[in-house]
Amino acid sequence: MLETIFSNWILPTLRVSTPLIFAALGGMWCERSGVIQIGLEGIMLVGAFFAAVVTHSTQNPWWGLVAGMMAGLVLSLGYGLTVLKWRANQIVSGTAFNLFAMGIPPFLSMIWFDSTGSTPVIPGESLFRSAPLLLMGSVVVASAILYHHSKFGLRIRFAGEHPKALESSGVSVRGKRWQGIALSGILAGLGGATLSIYLASSFSRNMSSGRGFIALAAVILGRWMPLQTVTACLLFGFTELVQIRLQGVVLWGDRAVPVQWIQILPYLITILVLALAMGRTRAPKGLGGDE
Amino acid sequence: MMNAIEFRKVTKRFGGFTANRDLSFSVKKGSIHGLIGENGAGKSTAMKVLFGIHPADSGEILIENRPVRIANPVHAMRLGIGMVHQHFMLAGPETVLDNIILGHEPGRMFVGRARAEAELTAIAKTYGLDFDRWDRPVSELSVGEQQRVEILKLLYQKSQVLILDEPTAVLTPQEVKDLFGNLVKLKEEGKTIILISHKLKEVLGYCDEITVIRRGETVGSRSASETDESELARMMVGREVSFTYQGDRKVFANAGDMKPVMRVERLSIASSTEPLRDVSFDLKPGEILGVAGVQGNGQSTLLRALSHPARHGRSWSGEYLLNGRSHSDSDPIALRNAGVGLVPEDRLTEGLLLNQDMTENFLLGQHEDPRYSKNGFLLRAKARAVTESKIKEFDIRPPHPTVWTGRMSGGNQQKLVIARALDPGPSVLYVAHPTRGVDVGAIEKIHDAIIQERNRGKAILLFSSELDELIDLCDRMLVFYNGMVRAQFTRSEFDPWAIGRVMGGGDR
Amino acid sequence: MKNSEKVRIPQSVRLFFRSLAGAAGGLALGLLICRVAGESPGKVLSVLVNSSFGSGYDFGMTLFYTAYFILAGLAVAIPFKSGLFNIGGEGQLTIGALAAAWAGVVGAGIQSHTLAILFATASAFVAGGLWGAIPGYLKARRGSHEVITTIMMNFIAAGVTSYFTLYSLKDPDSSQAETIPIPEAFQLKPFALFNGAPMGELIIALAVMTVVLHVIMRNSVWGYRLKATGENESAASTFGIPAPASWLSSMFVAGGIAGLTGLVEVLGNSHRFKIGFSADYGFVGIAVALVARGNILGILPSAFLFGVLQKGAGSLDLETDKVTRDLTYIIQGLIILGVASDGLWDWFAGFWRRRNA
């Protein structure tokens, strides 16, 4: 009994939540440093693409993970350049990066595979079994410890909450924000990678399908705190699992529930949960503001 | 005695504007030194030069008689200079301990909270700063306690010279006394303290030496024992001034018998941060009723309630009457039509659209007035003409209605806010902190306007954190403590010490 | 003080040229990227231009895309005034298109062309408006961040419209996922001048509508209320302009206008609702509004620019080996960045000064 619950529900929930958790923790670090990170979606997409490409060509998923992280990092550093150096509006620039990122996979897949936005299927023996789960677990633990007990965590929190206080203590706010942005790129890139080479076996067009925004909702719901954010991700991951399981199931009468109603479930739940969480959340005071 | 700090002909320019010109003065080691001047005289700039925020353009700064070039705040801190800013550099949700040790954590990778706490307890003991709640979030502390946290932060950083920017602006007279008591202890332990202020009494009472700055230049330095209030005032302003209101203060002969235009009965507002409990009072034509109290004791909630009852919904209980009519669920537009004018608490966040010009700002709240709009469209030309006339009447500068309010000085912004409140000819005025961050010239003008409105028979409710201002202007005063009216004073009973005692929760 | 002697160029003119230069820079960078695919930027540019202006038909199609983008851009620019970032145009226009198709089906008996158009317009506007008002309501009453809710609403709109297309309005004679065609009375007639491109009086109507909206946003009390909320929410509410009212009304109007984008598609082009008809037009609207810097009149040239890009990109698939229409996403992103990065100008100026020093 317990074992079937574990293998049928708990483990799959953890699996499905993995991309969300990576991306959400990245988003949390970035927003804690005071920078809004709307671009998680695009970073995940690009991370997923490069992970699939590199795994396909090396037949080694570890290189795929590294590629996903690197692609995410590069994209996030570009974002950092526009918002930290060129003072672009963070939401506007994040949106631009999302659009930009939507164009990259089809552009490159045309050159490399003569397809508009998908990559060749990677054989099963070159894919991960459970390593990403362990990696996810350690990133969660590390994030929680760093957040509460490290100098890095303390300073990044002040960069978002009261940047002037941090600056007047002799620590560069901009430096912390660069670090937060870089972390969001690495982690969301990693999240994207698990999407294509852990949950699937290739990259398919627009495969992030809103997960970057759901991860952002999880950050808000988790009040910008690591463990609460992870909990919110698990809730959204579970909704996605239910969505997958419900397809083709007959709930009442003799007809299966239309697949369209089931597919919108994760998005609906995200909106509902966000609306119900009102008043319980409080963003870092300096979020989106100047240094 | 050695000089802790010496300025030699320091000049600082911003574009074409010279904020400090050949500023020279010296601060003796182990003394409390007052730096006074009007708003905008350049005292804050001088301290920012010293703290490395804005490096000087020319001139020399000496620390313990050695010339130094201070490039940035970190450098200043390493040289032993620390600063308590007027707006505290504290993050509310974080703990006292984390706020203090930020940037100077004892650990390598981890924070090292246990070690830091031991060290801080020792520091607090050495300097007699009574404090031990290190793990509380800063937002739970009173303003006075937060200030003590700021001072502890400097001591933890081993600062030798402590700069305090207008430290008493938000404190009760009792808290001010405690603060200076602490500063004297610090002085006895060998620290040097520079106090930026515009309050002559305090500076005279506690400083050893005082330097006066006017228009970016040093007027002179005086030993506190050899000068007096009127000399310092003359040095500050450049002419004879009086710091209490001298204008025509007509007394309404029968003010006592007039019917109140506004009345509040048993008003309570439920709020987690600053509730209001069972408040009753009334306001008569031709009187200025002051609302005093330490920040956070219900005054803000009262003003918000009176200026926008509809926003409070179920948290509201009690009665609010204007000319005998209930307004317990009115919105600002309805109140305006009932004859209420409003000068909000913070003109920047609640009063102005900073990226819009004066005309657009003049329209705020008046956008539905039939004088300025018709059939759903604005009559901008009309609004602009009236704005132009207000600019003349209130001497608002620069005198162009197309100037963005965000580019105007505090005093001129405030004059515009007041002009707007008076435009419809209100019978009741709610005025909050009318002179906060406003230069002396504008203060006189604004006080003048308020008294004149009173003399014309307006009923004025005046909120201020400056007790002196309330004592100067008011006919009556309510003192708030813990969301309640703790005491009421009439003009003949005004005594700063008695009022301060009540503000701190004591009895009259 | 310092600049008083210099000739002052009006802020709006300066911003217009900055937008233009930013857009040009983004476009140039996007074209340069084509080198990666082994195509010469010059060739890609000439494909883009030829395909948009090459013939009456081509230009008609360019104007048709421009029509889409005027509406999609307005749907972003209006809530922007009240401080909201509507990235839900995609969902709102999908719902509007379905509503227009639905109007054609239930209103099959309507003979009068005018009446039919009015009925379809009202349906599309109200449906899109309500869809947009939901995130507006959630922001106003529950404080939910509109960027997240509008995105989620896009996905929900895709699901909902595909359900209705497949289950209630499905064309039994078609093997595609599309609704029953709308009757003739509902169809917009194109100008002959455009050789069959679906573009007629519509573009004139839209240009007039944009000018009217410009006047409304600028001079009406409603426009003032939106602006005040967007500029300073707490000052606005202190003086009797509650933010919820501004948010709700601006999102309703924006959603309605986005819904009209769907109307243009259904009445003017395909005469039915087809699943997936929009090539992310709602997202292009974001770029359009940003390049116009939220200025309502600026939407017109900006929408035209993106119309050219959209029409031209369609030909990339055929005329180049390795560059596809998806290049537009990259170019759009780069154009937005070019326009939004204010500090880039100081950076360039500094670079220039150092070089010439």
What is the 3 state secondary structure string of B304-359? HHHHCHHHHHHHEEEEEEECCEECCCCCHHHHHHCCEEEECCCHHHHHCCCCCEHH
Average pLDDT over residues C275-302: 90
Please indicate whether, in this complex, the C-beta atoms of A285 and B77 are within 8 angstroms of each other.
no
Q: What is the C-alpha radius of gyration for chain A, rounded to an integer number of angstroms?
A: 19
Q: Which of C143, C152, C330 sits opposite A104 (nearest CB)?
A: C330
For chain C, the domains span: 15-340
More confident position, C172 or B151: B151
Residues from C in contact with B at Cβ < 8 Å: 1-2, 219-222, 224-225, 227-228, 231-232, 234-242
* A107 close contact with C: CB closer than 8 A: yes
3-state SS class at B301: helix
d(CA B428, CA B263): 11
d(CA A44, CA A184): 10
Please indicate whether, in this complex, the C-beta atoms of A110 and C36 are within 8 angstroms of each other.
no
Which residues share a beta bridge with C28?
none
* B353 close contact with C: CB closer than 8 A: yes
For residue B109, the chain A residues in CB contact (below 8 A) are 150-151
d(CA A46, CA A27): 16
Asked whether A192 and A53 are in contact (CB, 8 A), the reply is no
Report the residue of C82, C232, C233 to disrupt the B interface, i.e. the one with the largest count of B CBs within 10 Å.
C232
Average pLDDT over residues C171-192: 85
For residue A102, the chain C residues in CB contact (below 8 A) are 280, 326, 329, 333
For residue A107, the chain C residues in CB contact (below 8 A) are 33, 36-37, 323-324, 326-327, 330
Which residues share a beta bridge with B372?
none
User: pLDDT by residue (tens digit) across A147-170?
Assistant: 999 999 999 999 999 999 998 888
Q: What local confidence, expressed as pLDDT, does residue B249 receive?
A: 58
CB atoms inside a 10 Å sphere around CB B228: 11
* A278 close contact with C: CB closer than 8 A: yes
Provide, rounded to the nearest whole percent, the portion of chain C with pLDDT above 90: 58
How does residue C135 score in pLDDT terms, banded at 50, 70 and 90?
Answer: very high
Q: What local confidence, expressed as pLDDT, does residue C198 receive?
A: 80
Q: Which of C60-74, C135-149, C166-180 has the lowest mean pLDDT?
A: C166-180
Q: What local confidence, expressed as pLDDT, does residue B32 receive?
A: 95
For residue C328, the chain A residues in CB contact (below 8 A) are 103
Please indicate whether, in this complex, the C-beta atoms of C221 and B377 are within 8 angstroms of each other.
yes
Asked whether B161 and B195 are in contact (CB, 8 A), the reply is no
Beta sheet of B484-490, edge-to-edge order: B340-343, B428-432, B459-463, B288-292, B476-481, B484-490
d(CA B264, CA B319): 6
* A169 close contact with B: CB closer than 8 A: yes
- Position C123 pLDDT exceeds 90: yes
| B contact residues 295-314, partner C, Cβ 8 Å cutoff | 307-308, 311
Beta sheet of B276-283, edge-to-edge order: B276-283, B262-269, B316-322, B325-326
Which pTM value belongs to this model? 0.89
Q: What is the mean pLDDT of each run of 10 residues along chain B (508 residues)?
A: 89 82 92 86 86 88 91 88 88 94 92 93 86 87 88 92 86 83 91 88 89 90 88 78 54 63 95 88 93 89 95 92 94 95 93 94 95 95 95 89 88 93 95 84 85 91 90 92 93 87 84
Q: Which two tokens stand for residue B268?
A: 């309570």
* B285 close contact with C: CB closer than 8 A: no
d(CA B197, CA B105): 32
Q: What local confidence, expressed as pLDDT, does residue A166 receive?
A: 92
User: pLDDT by residue (tens digit) across C55-99?
Assistant: 889 999 999 999 999 999 999 999 999 999 999 999 999 999 999
Q: What local confidence, expressed as pLDDT, does residue B216 receive?
A: 86
Q: What local confidence, expressed as pLDDT, does residue C5 receive?
A: 43
Q: What local confidence, expressed as pLDDT, does residue B295 receive?
A: 81
Q: Which of B89, B92, B109 sits opposite A168 (nearest CB)?
A: B89
For residue C33, the chain A residues in CB contact (below 8 A) are 107
Which residues share a beta bridge with C84?
none
Please indicate whether, in this complex, the C-beta atoms of B111 and A151 are within 8 angstroms of each other.
yes
* B355 close contact with C: CB closer than 8 A: yes
Asked whether B117 and B134 are in contact (CB, 8 A), the reply is yes
* B350 close contact with C: CB closer than 8 A: yes
Q: What local confidence, expressed as pLDDT, does residue C357 receive?
A: 56
Please classify residue C204 by burial: count the beta carbons closer than 10 Å to its beta carbon, then call 0-12 exposed, 13-18 middle and 19+ buried. exposed
For residue A95, the chain C residues in CB contact (below 8 A) are 85, 87, 286, 336
Cα→Cα distances C23→A113, B221, C28, C309, C341, Å: 31, 59, 9, 12, 11
How close is the nearest chain A Cα to the Cα of C156, in Å? 5
| A contact residues 210-269, partner C, Cβ 8 Å cutoff | 210, 213-214, 216-217, 220, 258, 260-261, 263-264, 267-268
Q: Which of C159, C331, C337 sits opposite A263 (nearest CB)?
A: C159
- Nearest residue of A to residue C84, measured between CA atoms: A91
The architecture (CATH level 2) of C15-340 comes to: Orthogonal Bundle (1.10)
Beta strands B288-292 and B476-481, pairing class: parallel
- Nearest residue of C to residue A278, measured between CA atoms: C142
Q: Please, what are the domains in chain B?
A: 3-237 (3.40.50.300), 262-503 (3.40.50.300)
d(CA A264, CA C94): 15
Cα→Cα distances B39→A275, B199, B215, C175, C179, Å: 46, 11, 10, 78, 71
Asked whether B332 and B342 are in contact (CB, 8 A), the reply is yes
Q: What local confidence, expressed as pLDDT, does residue C4 receive?
A: 41
Provide, rounded to the nearest whole percent, the portion of chain B with pLDDT above 70: 95
CATH number, span A17-276: 1.10.3470
**Residue C265: DSSP 8-state:** I
Asked whether B363 and B372 are in contact (CB, 8 A), the reply is yes
For residue B102, the chain A residues in CB contact (below 8 A) are 154-155, 158, 165-166, 169, 171
For residue C326, the chain A residues in CB contact (below 8 A) are 102-103, 106-107, 110, 116-117
How close is the nearest chain C Cα to the Cα of B379, in Å? 8
Please indicate whether, in this complex, the C-beta atoms of A170 and B85 are within 8 angstroms of each other.
no
* B89 close contact with A: CB closer than 8 A: yes
How close is the nearest chain C Cα to the Cα of B272, in Å? 19
Q: Is cis: bond before B398, omega within 30 of 0? A: yes
Q: Which chains touch B (3 or more CB pairs under 8 A)?
A: A, C
How close is the nearest chain B Cα to the Cα of C232, in Å? 6
Q: Which of A149, A154, A168 sits opposite B73 (nearest CB)?
A: A168
User: How far from each other are the two terminal CA atoms of chain C, in whole angstroms?
Assistant: 25
**For residue B286, is it left (φ>0), alpha (ψ between -120 and 50) or beta?**
left
Cα B163 to the chain's mean position, in Å? 18
* B349 close contact with A: CB closer than 8 A: no
- Show Cβ contacts of residue A260 under 8 Å, excluding neighbours closer than 6 positions: C159, C160, C162, C163, C166
d(CA A195, CA A96): 22
Q: What local confidence, expressed as pLDDT, does residue A158 receive?
A: 96
For residue A151, the chain B residues in CB contact (below 8 A) are 105, 107-111
Segments in chain A below pLDDT 70: 278-281
- Position C172 pLDDT exceeds 90: no
d(CA B86, CA A11): 54
Helices A40-58, A90-113: inter-axial angle, 10-degree rounding: 20
Please indicate whether, in this complex, the C-beta atoms of A96 and C336 are within 8 angstroms of each other.
yes
